[in-house]
Amino acid sequence: MSKSLKPLLLAGAAAVLVLGAAPLIAQTTKPAPAQRAAAPAHASLGLGRLALPEEIKAWDIDVRPDGQGLPPGKGTVKRGDEIFQEQCAACHGEFGQGNGRWPVLAGGQGTLKADRPEKTIGSFWPYLSTVYDYINRAMPFGNAQSLSPDDVYALTAYLLYLNDIVKDEDFELSRENFTAVKLPNGDAFYDDDRETAEKSFWRKEPCMTNCKAEVKITGRAAILDVTPDSKSAPKVD
Amino acid sequence: MTSDIKQSPLSRRRFLGAAGAAGLAGAALPARAQTPDPLITDVQDWHRMLGEGVDAHPYGSPSKFEKHVVRRDVAWLTASPVSSVNFTPLHELDGIITPSGLCFERHHAGIAEIDPARHRLMIHGLVDKPLVFTMEDIRRMPRENHVHFLECAANSGMEWRGAQLNGCQFTHGMVHNVMYTGVKLKHLLAEAGLKPNAKWLMLEGADASGMNRSLPVEKALDDVLIAFAMNGEALRPEQGYPLRAVIPGWEGNLWVKWLRRIEVGDMPWQAREETSKYTDLLADGRSRRFTFIMDAKSVVTNPSPQAPLKHKGRNVLSGIAWSGRGTISRVDVTLDGGKNWRHARIDGPVLEKSLTRFYVDFDWAGEELLIQSRAMDSTGYVQPTKDELRKVRGVNSIYHNNGIQTWHVRSNGETENVEIA
């Protein structure tokens, strides 16, 4: 096709697509810089429809470390204890110690450098928002999304208490004081640094011949291949 | 699972006993048969009688003689089978495409059963127009096909402290590789229009775990696919039917299944699956987070503990290599524990962030072997040994174990997962 025809054809295509997208607001989108760089410049597909505020409200349940997403509500340690014993303790134990292979929620402070670290909310988790978000979206296991905001605040307060982060049974957690609570291990995470910390793995030419004089077997699966007991076996959770 | 593994060497030993005598001549032609083979001289049933008609199996399944080729789980790994994992039988597969029904599964609240007519995908947050899509909408968008591996971040995680599970299905089977069909996420985001401060996306599943992960916007605009098909047909329910995220080269947990919502924000969400889980604890007590990329890795699938050597003389060593950073450029194999290496023969498609098949055709006289494979990728990364990894990371990082695997082949062909120094 000739170059002079192109703008005409494009204009025609855009008009058709806008018609197709009638329920949507007019196409006045100004692409973000990142998008401009990576996305192909093409007219809107005119597919999908606007999400209604009620629909977004129904699904937008996530909570971030800065408190974005926290609903109004509050709950005390005492109230959290009651709910926990009723809804959570069967798996996680009365004090969050974990029954059987179910996750341990409390304790383990100071064990992260140990041979067998105990990673709990108190010893390992960086942000309290994650506790709220995860309980709210996924717990109790098998009956998710059944707790009210007040229930989740209360359970979160009880978990702070079990982890000795708050000491007072009357402590009340609310949307207002939520972001003031810091977890002990909050500063111990850093972004992936493999490209610098492991740069020796990018090496030009690995050894091909006479690379070592001696090879000895230092470990065998057959020796370890008894079904490991529930305490020492690795966990997937 | 252990009982099965323990049983199998017995049957292998019988087989080797029978095959041994004939195989001793090594590379020479087998001896002349002593008696005529009844499989040749007798007319077999399948040569005389009619088989099943074309309507017998509207959706076919493998031969009954392949019943052992199945996903397996390791019950003691998890507290509940609905938040658990099973393993792809890598030692029974060849080429690079994993059959859909054998792709390992990892769920956090079981398999959600979703009617595609009732599935919705919402995009909202820092966008110009929050949008809702139906599956019909998504199937009207420009489609692409891509082959990629999906590897669980915890693949080989049980092996950090030493050789533990006896079979590549268990040590390396949290990986599969299929062709996905779907829509580039960047097209969906373009429909919604990203605000200038859009930096991160949160992907969320419709299952009862409400699986949520934060994804940097650069990756979302690069090669992320929102897929509705695998290997030419709809996704399997256990793989996220009707819609899942495909995040090429990145840890499997990010590939949110039953995808229902994408929120756009200016910072990561720090969800449970990127704080408590999928963070890598190092020896100094600090942890890496957002370790998204799966580094170059390989494993010899045959021989391996579940697939011992059965014949002296000619043999085929087979394996897979992959890298989340690009393509596999080379695979080396050693038979003597790393003293000497040879280049493996790469066969079949070599694709970006995909499993790649390699072979070494070799003669075996019955000597003990210590087999390893070492992958290199298009960025120059060389797959490290487990000891090299442990030196940087310690033994408690759970995820991202891409260390070189060693198999010890005994003179009778039995093969074991070992560590060497």
Nearest-Cα distance to chain B for A103, in Å, is: 8
HSE toward the beta carbon, residue A215, CA cutoff 13 A: 20
| Residue owning tokens 């985001």 | B189
Q: Which two tokens stand for residue B170?
A: 């268990």
Exposure letters B347-380 (e unless 16+ CB within 10 A, then b):
eeeebbbbbbbbbbeeebebeebbbbbbbbbeee
Among B269, B142, B137, smallest CA distance to B213 is for B269
Whether residue B271 has pLDDT greater than 60: yes
> Which pLDDT does position A224 carry in this prediction?
57
Cα–Cα distances (Å) from A105 to A98, B25, B67, B82, in that order, read: 7, 62, 41, 20
Cβ neighbours of B142 in A, within 8 Å = 45
Interface contact flag, A45 B140, Cβ < 8 Å = yes
Element (H or E) spanning B408, and its range?
A: strand B406-409
Interface contact flag, B190 A137, Cβ < 8 Å = no
CA-CA-CA-CA dihedral for B352, B165, B316, B388, to nearest 10 = 60
| Interface predicted TM-score of the whole assembly (ipTM), two decimals | 0.90
Contact criterion met (CB below 8 Å) for B86 and B71: yes
Q: What is the DSSP string of B6-34?
A: HHHHHHHHHHHHHHHHHHTTTTSPPPPPS
Give the confidence band of B245 by pLDDT, cuts at 50, 70, 90.
Answer: very high
A56 at interface of B, judged by CB pairs closer than 8 A? yes
Integer Cα distance of B251 and B151 in angstroms:
6
Q: What are phi and psi of B3, to 5 degrees?
A: -65, -40
3-class secondary structure for B146-192?
A: EEEEEECCCCCHHHCCCCCCCCHHHHHCCEEEEEEEEEEHHHHHHHH
Give the confidence band of B137 by pLDDT, cuts at 50, 70, 90.
Answer: very high
pLDDT (tens digit per residue) in B352-397: 999 999 999 999 999 999 999 999 999 999 999 999 999 999 999 9
| Mean pLDDT computed over B211-237 | 98
Give the confidence band of A236 by pLDDT, cuts at 50, 70, 90.
Answer: low
> Which pLDDT does position A235 carry in this prediction?
56
pLDDT (tens digit per residue) in A110-160: 999 999 999 999 999 999 999 999 999 999 999 999 999 999 999 999 999
CB atoms inside a 10 Å sphere around CB A124: 24
Integer Cα distance of A141 and A92 in angstroms:
11
Interface contact flag, A216 B217, Cβ < 8 Å = no
Whether residue B298 has pLDDT greater than 90: yes
> Which pLDDT does position A43 carry in this prediction?
64
B128 at interface of A, judged by CB pairs closer than 8 A? yes
Contact criterion met (CB below 8 Å) for A235 and A101: yes
Give the confidence band of A12 by pLDDT, cuts at 50, 70, 90.
Answer: very low
Count CB pairs under 8 A between chains A and B: 297
Sign of CA dihedral B251, B252, B253, B257: positive
Q: Which residues contact B177 (CB under 8 A, 6 or more apart)?
A: B96, B97, B98, B147, B148, B149, B150, B322, B354, B355
Contact criterion met (CB below 8 Å) for B254 and B277: no
Contact criterion met (CB below 8 Å) for B356 and B334: no
Contact criterion met (CB below 8 Å) for B71 and B87: yes
CA-CA-CA-CA dihedral for B72, B77, B79, B84, to nearest 10 = -50
| Mean pLDDT computed over B390-414 | 97
Give the confidence band of B33 by pLDDT, cuts at 50, 70, 90.
Answer: confident
Cα–Cα distances (Å) from A39 to A33, A149, B184, B189, B265, in that order, read: 10, 39, 10, 9, 18
Cβ neighbours of A65 in B, within 8 Å = 267, 270
B164, B243, B260, B263, best to mutate vs chain A, most A CBs in 10 Å:
B164
Amino acid at B119: H
> Which pLDDT does position A44 carry in this prediction?
86
Integer Cα distance of A70 and B318 in angstroms:
53
The reported pTM is 0.88
| Mean pLDDT computed over A184-203 | 97
Give the confidence band of B411 by pLDDT, cuts at 50, 70, 90.
Answer: very high
Give the confidence band of B32 by pLDDT, cuts at 50, 70, 90.
Answer: confident
Interface contact flag, B416 A113, Cβ < 8 Å = no
> Which pLDDT does position B77 carry in this prediction?
81
Whether residue B402 has pLDDT greater than 70: yes
> Which pLDDT does position B25 carry in this prediction?
44
Local structure of B281: helix, strand or coil? strand
Interface contact flag, A48 B190, Cβ < 8 Å = no
> Which pLDDT does position A92 carry in this prediction?
97
Whether residue B28 has pLDDT greater than 80: no
Characterize the bridge pairing of strands A189-191 and B287-289.
Answer: parallel
Q: Which residues contact A57 (CB under 8 A, 6 or more apart)?
A: none
Cα–Cα distances (Å) from B190 to A102, B194, B226, in that order, read: 43, 7, 14
Element (H or E) spanning A55, and its range?
A: helix A53-59
Contact criterion met (CB below 8 Å) for B410 and B389: no
Whether residue A191 has pLDDT greater than 90: yes
Mean pLDDT of chain B: 93
Integer Cα distance of B26 and B28 in angstroms:
6
Give the confidence band of B223 by pLDDT, cuts at 50, 70, 90.
Answer: very high
A125 at interface of B, judged by CB pairs closer than 8 A? yes
Give the confidence band of B30 by pLDDT, cuts at 50, 70, 90.
Answer: low
Integer Cα distance of B193 and A33 in angstroms:
11
Local structure of B227: helix, strand or coil? strand
Q: What are phi and psi of B241, to 5 degrees?
A: -45, 130
Mean pLDDT lowest for which of A24-28, A51-55, B47-51, B284-288? A24-28
A202 at interface of B, judged by CB pairs closer than 8 A? yes
Length of chain B: 421
> Which pLDDT does position B80 carry in this prediction?
86
Cβ neighbours of B144 in A, within 8 Å = none
Contact criterion met (CB below 8 Å) for B174 and B106: yes
Among B317, B412, B411, smallest CA distance to B14 is for B412
Higher pLDDT: A32 or B189? It is B189
pLDDT (tens digit per residue) in A34-67: 444 444 445 689 999 999 999 999 999 999 999 9
Interface contact flag, B271 A62, Cβ < 8 Å = yes
Among B31, B267, B325, B188, smallest CA distance to A129 is for B267
Please list the residues that pair with B345 across neighbouring strands.
B359
Among B59, B53, B57, B90, smallest CA distance to B72 is for B90
pLDDT (tens digit per residue) in B46-104: 999 999 999 999 999 999 999 999 999 888 888 888 888 999 999 999 999 999 999 99
> Which pLDDT does position B18 carry in this prediction?
41
Cβ-nearest to A197 among B154, B293, B392: B392
User: For the packed helices A149-162 and A128-138, what is the interaxial angle rounded to 10 degrees?
Assistant: 130
Integer Cα distance of B300 and B374 in angstroms:
10
Integer Cα distance of B80 and B75 in angstroms:
8
Nearest-Cα distance to chain B for A219, in Å, is: 5
B10 at interface of A, judged by CB pairs closer than 8 A? no
Percent of chain B beyond pLDDT 90? Answer: 89
CB atoms inside a 10 Å sphere around CB B283: 15
Integer Cα distance of B64 and B68 in angstroms:
9
Give the confidence band of B12 by pLDDT, cuts at 50, 70, 90.
Answer: very low
B210 at interface of A, judged by CB pairs closer than 8 A? yes
A91, A133, A189, A231, best to mutate vs chain B, most B CBs in 10 Å:
A189
Nearest-Cα distance to chain B for A87, in Å, is: 17
Integer Cα distance of B119 and A117 in angstroms:
41
Task: Tell me which residues of chain B, numbers 399 to 418, contact chain A at a CB-CB cutoff of 8 Å.
Answer: 408, 416-418
